Structure 1
Amino acid sequence: MIAPLFVGHGSPLMAIQNTPCTDFLLSYGQQLKPKAIVIFTAHWETEVLTVSSTDDVYDMVYDFGGFPDQMYQIKYPAKGSSALAASLADRFRAQDISVQFDTKRGLDHGSWVPLLRMFPVPVCPVIQISVNPYLSPAEQYRIGEALRGLDEEDILIMGSGATVHNFRTMNPDATAPDPKAVAFDDWLIEHMHKHDLNALFSYEVQAPYAKLAVPRPEHFVPLYITMGSGNPARTPQEVHRSYEMGSLSYLSVTF
């Protein structure tokens, strides 16, 4: 069994820098032997849930600018699986969740950066799935619910985003975490431990500093999808937390 994992992927520079988060990702990845990885990435937004469907090696999507040339030379030759993509689509449709396939899109940095740091050499097929940030937290959770039980098949469900992601509050000179970012993450962990879905679904009005932490929800919603995919009998576990530039959260949680 491989518990679903939400990871804070932060800056694309994670691909070439060593940080407490990259140390965690490598160590955690070394403990796993997934048969496949299904990753919901904050950097692929669609109105209809879209599943990558290919048996080939993915192209690379360098969806960032102004970074060192080294960043644009990185290759992560993960392959897809059209059979698994079809099986996932069947699960979504069985729950009346509209779904479509994409046979062309490569892996964006929300996928390949954390995967590179967890598994420097691809170890299994990867399925990339889009997010719709305009759906409610309850609807995001329901998307995850459609995938419950895949953890028992050693398929790793991943959500890649960030709990606190606000460029306006990031401070390159910060030497300690922003207390507001910490308070928001503390609130999330507390209510995830309690399985308090009512509070979590109402985070915008209940969580401290929610508007500062989540000015736009594309990085946040993978958390709810991953949460929904986990076994509700298990207690969510904070497996890593660090901060960059004061407020950029690298909170990672298993479900």
Structure 2
Amino acid sequence: MVPSLFLAHGSPMLAIEDNEYTQFLASIGQNIKPKAIVIFTAHWESDITTISFTDEVYETIYDFYGFPDELYAIKYPAKGSKEIATMIKDRFPKQGIKVRMNMTRGLDHGSWTLLSRIYPKADIPVIQLSVNPYLPAEEQFKIGQSLRGLGEEEILVIGSGVTVHNLRAVKWEQTTPEPWAVEFDNWLIDKVQQMDLDSLFKWEHLAPHARLAVPRAEHFVPLFIAMGSGDSQTKAQVIYRGYEFGTLSYLCLQF
């Protein structure tokens, strides 16, 4: 049995940095040994849930600019799995969720920067899925619910995003978090650990500083997907918490 995870992918620099957070990511790979990885990435948006469908090695997509050349030299040569992608696809219609397949897209940095630190050998099949940030939180949770039980088959579900993600509010030289960012995450942790879905589904109206923390929801919705896919009998755990540049959250949760 493997859990579902919400992991902060933060800055692309985590692929080449050595710090407390990258060491935490490495520890995940040492403790969780899945037979496949299903990852929802904030950097692949589509109106219909889209699933990568290939047995080949993925292209590594560098969907960022202005970073050191060293970062653009990294390759993460993981393969996909048509067999597992098909099995996943067949789960969604049971929840009334439309899906489509994509045979050409590579792994964007919402996937490979994390996975390169967790499973650096790139020897575990990866199935990448898109997100639709315009769906309400309840629908995001439902997408995750479609995959509930994959952990019993030793398949790791990851929601890759960030809880507090307002790049206009970052303070590049600041080493302590802004109080409003901490307050938002505190509220979120409390509601998640209580499984207070009524409040979570109304986060935009109830969470403190919601619009400041989440000006656009593409990085936030993977949280609801990961939560929906997790074991409903297991209490959510905070497995890492930290902040960068005053406001960028590295909150990670296990379900």
Normalising by structure 1, what TM-score? Answer: 0.99
Q: Which moved more, 1:65-74 or 1:138-147?
A: 65-74
Gaps in structure 2 of 5+ consecutive residues: none
Letter in 1 for 2:96: D
1:202-221 equivalent positions in 2, closer than 5 A: 202-221=202-221
Q: CA RMSD in A?
A: 0.7
Does 2:254 correspond to 1:243?
A: no
For residues 47-104 of structure 1, the C-alpha deviation after alignment (integer angstroms, 9 at most, x for no partner) is 1100000000000110001111111110011000011111111001121110000000
Does 2:156 correspond to 1:194?
A: no
Letter in 2 for 1:69: D
Does 2:124 correspond to 1:124?
A: yes
Provide the residue aligned with 1:44 in structure 2: 44
- For the residue of structure 1 that corresponds to 2:64, the secondary structure is coil
Q: Which moved more, 1:134-143 or 1:22-31?
A: 22-31
Distance in 1, Cα, partners of 2:54 & 2:17: 30
Distance in 1, Cα, partners of 2:121 & 2:34: 13
1:51-130 equivalent positions in 2, closer than 5 A: 51-130=51-130
- For the residue of structure 1 that corresponds to 2:7, the secondary structure is strand
User: 1:235 deviation in Å?
Assistant: 0.4
Letter in 2 for 1:146: S
For residues 169-218 of structure 1, the C-alpha deviation after alignment (integer angstroms, 9 at most, x for no partner) is 11011121111111111111101111100000101111111111100000
Provide the residue aligned with 2:176 in structure 1: 176
Distance in 2, Cα, partners of 1:19 & 1:45: 30
Q: Which moved more, 1:10-19 or 1:38-47?
A: 10-19
Runs of 4 or more, structure 1, over 4 Å off, are: none
Provide the residue aligned with 1:133 in structure 2: 133
Provide the residue aligned with 2:35 in structure 1: 35
Distance in 1, Cα, partners of 2:152 & 2:43: 28
Normalising by structure 2, what TM-score? Answer: 0.99
Distance in 2, Cα, partners of 1:22 & 1:233: 29
Letter in 2 for 1:245: F
* Contact 1:2-1:156 within 8 A present in 2 as well: yes
- For the residue of structure 2 that corresponds to 1:86, the secondary structure is helix
Provide the residue aligned with 1:233 in structure 2: 233
- For the residue of structure 2 that corresponds to 1:218, the secondary structure is helix
User: 1:25 deviation in Å?
Assistant: 0.4
User: 1:19 deviation in Å?
Assistant: 2.2
* Contact 1:20-1:242 within 8 A present in 2 as well: no
Distance in 2, Cα, partners of 1:237 & 1:50: 28
Distance in 2, Cα, partners of 1:196 & 1:148: 18
Letter in 1 for 2:16: I
Distance in 1, Cα, partners of 2:178 & 2:138: 28
- For the residue of structure 2 that corresponds to 1:10, the secondary structure is coil
Provide the residue aligned with 1:166 in structure 2: 166
Would you say how many aligned residue pairs link Structure 1 and Structure 2? 255
